[in-house]
Chains A and B, each alone.
Chain A
Amino acid sequence: MSVIKDTGARATLPPFGEEHEELRQTVSRFVANEIAPNVDEWEAAREFPRELFGRCAELGFLGLKFPERYGGQGGTHLHDAIWVEELARSGGSGGVAAGLNAHASIAMPPIFNFGTEEQKQRWLVPGIKGEKVGCLGITEPGAGSDVAGISTFARRDGDRYIVNGAKTFITNGVRADFLVCAVKTTEEGGHGGISFLVLEREMPGYEVAAKLEKMGWHSSDTGELSFTEVEVPAENLLGEENQGFRLIMANFAWERLLMAIGAVGAMQRLIEVTVSYALERHAFGRPIGKFQAIRHQVAEMATKAEASRALTYNALRVFHEGLDCIRDVTMAKLVTQRAVLEVADQALQIHGGYGYMREYGIERAVRDARLGPIGGGTDEIMKEILGKQMGL
């Protein structure tokens, strides 16, 4: 026993294990070959091609966590987590990830969890195949974080509902075939008066009112939708009437966890890119990374990234084991969304003028990351949840 050295060897941190490595590599190759090279073009087009859903479905990525009887891969949430992390790490963009996941991980789970067998056949099966694209509609022009305050109203009329109202900031909203939509089913609404209906784009009165321009996430389409006397058959009710708030809460945990995992992947990517730039770029006779100021900035970025990973993987483990995970997921979401924004900004600083130019993709990472502390529940909402858990 004399000298012990860090060989750099690292085992995969639980809850992931060796058995997940193959999927990780498959996703990584796919993203590097078929997504990363096209991102600039898709950003400029303000959406990625619809065929990407089909291609991802063909490779099984849209149905990782769903049972084989619906065309899924029969995996678990951990497989989905790997997909999301690698999508970010291997050079996807915030927009591409948002579009794919708004469908596979946000719109489809409530159909799987709360839907009848017939509903699963109608939307989940074609959704997993990439033939139908879904989106989730909760936020409205007048109600975001305060979910109980939504005003889109579904009036019962015999064996159908008549829906009036509007939804906004809906990822995939412009081209989605179906919308898993939160509506009031009582006049007073609130926690006990919200239900979910599945709306379909061909229903009369369902309109895409606007395709929204955004700071980042350019390769995903974001829609504002309006509903005027839309007739929705009662069999499109998802779960029980007036029990929709439970569905929202169930979905939030996974959505927030996915955001945290995506941020962990994105930070790793940013650090890899920045380290290699800092070693190549010379100033004053040496690579800029050899200046202590830059070395320490990279160390700060990496420390944030690894702390985020530890917190997020633990939250994922707690979620996966079926334990109460609200505290862990809320903390992971809060920490990671800020961390990735800070890391992206530090990466931009180290890249200097090049970081500010579109070509390097760093300015895009900053713009994409800025949504994190807002989407899926703002930082302030996360802190309310945590503070209230502490009895405050």
Chain B
Amino acid sequence: MATATTNGSSTVIKPDHEAGRKHFIFSQEHEDLRESMQAWVQKEMWPHRNEWEDSYWPTEVMKRAGELGFLGLCFPEEYGGQGGDYYYSLVRAECMSYSGSGGTNMAFAVQSDMVLPPIHLLGTEEQKQRWLVPGIKGEKVGALGITEPGAGSDVAGIRTTAIRDGDEYVINGSKTFITNGPRADFIVLVAKTDPEARHDGITLFVVDLRDENGEKVPGFSVSAELEKMGMHASDTGELAFEDVRVPAENVLGEVGKGFYHIAWELQGERLVAAAGSHAGCERMIEKTLEYAKEREAFGRPIGKFQAIRHKFAEMATKTEAAKQFTYATAWRFANGEYPVREITMAKLFASRVGCEVADECIQILGGYGYMKEYEIERAYRDVRLNRIGAGTDEVMLDVIGRSYGL
């Protein structure tokens, strides 16, 4: 343990680079979770990262995660969750960075941190039994349907409609860029129940996409499985709804309040995205550091050149800033504040750091970095989504600026 006392007669600060200085938000419980989840990810996900790029992550892995309790960390035990606090989500996101697969991480985050939280927060008891409980078990895969071909960041501009007809709503429209969409059993869907209104015409629904035999429900189709720059392990769909009928009891939360529900939902998602970014940076830096210590040029390891050494210092510093920002903001969130401004900043900051670090790692790895084998080019492609998904950088800047009255 290092010392930095101020009242001894011979103050010495001894370097102790290995000191385990866990952040004040984490307790032993969090460290225990970190240890077990990281071990699982390294054992059961990491070895398969390359094959999943071609085949998508297998649905059984989600069941396995459910069995181990990793999908319900923050949900109450009565629904099969672990009853943990919000920090469990951060630990989860950090541990997933060991999978080596951005696509898999995203798919799991959609399930545990985007689809299930609104059902838990807004759902009736019956809705929780129908979707939250099997979702936590990993028996049902969920998706979140906000973005449409014609409306992304501007959520109020969506066109999918859900029109009341007796005891049912009739849904028409399409959704795109939907993670888990092609295989999802159900979707938390954002639709207009009052097509004339903007923010106040939006309602959330939980819609079963498949019946008990696994067949698509009438009127629902996957119009495309989308090819992407990265996140290849994840299936992304364009979904079409043609006169899909859902009972009125599938409304999630209040009719006409869907926009505000989603605005809340996005906050948790953004913070988890930020945590995934800094943890991903740590993995990239570790891998690249190993290379820089082994690879020799001009008679010494390239890491011993000052130009390379300083790149590592820069990357580590940015990453640490992102991490501390996310932790500090999570502390606020977990303590009952609703710090939209700081969450938005943390997401913006961490996403950019992710892209910068990926790019710098490729640079240090040189030709190898550009080759598939070293997996950094994949990380680069995967992480590029962070500055677009869950709200673009530009939307983040707008949210932050407006919080100052501008």
Contact = CB atoms under 8 A, between A and B. Distances in A.
A112 interface: yes
Contact of A292 (B15, B396, B398): B398
A120 to B, nearest CB: 11
B76 to A, nearest CB: 15
B401 A311 contact: no
Nearest to B401: A295
Contact of A13 (B316, B331, B400, B403): B331
B325 A311 contact: yes
B317 A334 contact: yes
Contacts of A107: none
A250 B338 contact: no
A77 B303 contact: no
Nearest to A306: B345
Given A243-B10, A290-B406, 16 more contacts: A2-B254, A3-B264, A6-B340, A13-B332, A114-B10, A250-B11, A295-B401, A299-B398, A302-B341, A302-B400, A317-B24, A326-B15, A334-B313, A384-B313, A387-B310, A391-B289
Contact of B349 (A6, A271, A303): A303
A209 interface: no
Nearest to A305: B345
Interface in A1-59: 1-7, 9-11, 13-14
A364 interface: no
Contact of B17 (A287, A308, A310, A324): A324
Contact of A324 (B19, B310, B332): B19
B213 interface: no
B229 interface: no
7 contacts: A1-B122, A4-B264, A114-B11, A246-B12, A289-B401, A328-B320, A391-B303
Interface string A318-332: 110011111110010
Nearest to B23: A314
Given A113-B7, A303-B345, A5 B338 contact: yes
Contact of A387 (B122, B313, B337): B313
A114 to B, nearest CB: 7
Interface string B1-26: 11111111111111111010101100
Interface in B283-311: 289, 292-293, 303-304, 306, 308-310
A392 B308 contact: yes
Q: Which secondary structure dominates chain A's binding surface?
A: helix
Interface residues on B, range: 35 or more
A390 interface: yes
A392 B309 contact: yes
B260 interface: yes
A386 B316 contact: yes
A317 B348 CA distance: 25
Interface in A258-307: 271, 275, 278-279, 287, 289-290, 292, 294-296, 298-300, 302-303, 306-307
B310 A10 contact: no
Contacts of A275: 404-406
A326 B405 CA distance: 39
Nearest to A302: B400
A65 interface: yes
Nearest to A7: B338
Given A303-B349, A303-B400, A386-B312, A313 B11 contact: no
A324 B398 contact: no
Contacts of A237: none
B12 A250 contact: yes
A323 B325 contact: no
A64 interface: no
Contacts of A77: 6
A65 B329 CA distance: 29
Interface string B319-349: 0111011011101100101111110011011
Given A279-B406, A299-B398, A335-B321, A3 B257 contact: yes
Contact of A306 (B313, B325, B397): B325
A215 interface: no
Nearest to B309: A387
Contacts of A298: 400-401, 404, 406
A324 B312 contact: no
Interface string A87-101: 000000000000000
A334 B321 CA distance: 11
B121 A1 contact: yes
B35 interface: no
A109 interface: yes
A253 interface: yes
Nearest to A303: B345
Nearest to A335: B321
A370 B218 CA distance: 66
Given A308-B321, A314-B328, A386-B317, A295 B406 contact: yes
Contact of A390 (B24, B316, B345, B396): B316
Interface in B383-406: 394, 396-406
A306 B308 CA distance: 28
Contact of B406 (A2, A289, A313, A317): A289
B260 A3 contact: yes
A383 B335 contact: no
B4 A392 contact: no
A386 B12 CA distance: 19
B324 A310 contact: yes
Interface string A63-89: 001010000000001000000000000
Contact of B21 (A307, A310, A324): A324
Contact of A300 (B14, B121, B304, B397): B397
A380 B341 CA distance: 33
A303 B11 contact: no
Contact of A382 (B23, B313, B329, B349): B313
A93 to B, nearest CB: 24
A132 to B, nearest CB: 21
Contacts of A3: 257, 260, 264
A292 B121 CA distance: 34
A126 interface: no
A385 B309 CA distance: 10
Nearest to B293: A391
Contact of B402 (A246, A295, A319): A295
B337 A392 contact: no
Interface string A351-392: 000000000000000000000000000001011111111111
B253 interface: yes
Q: Which 7 A-B pairs have the closest CB atoms?
A: A324-B2, A295-B401, A387-B309, A299-B400, A386-B313, A383-B313, A289-B406
B267 to A, nearest CB: 9
B313 A10 contact: no
B10 A246 contact: yes
B211 interface: no
Contacts of A380: 310
A389 B17 contact: yes
B136 to A, nearest CB: 20
Given A7-B338, A392-B293, A14 B16 contact: no
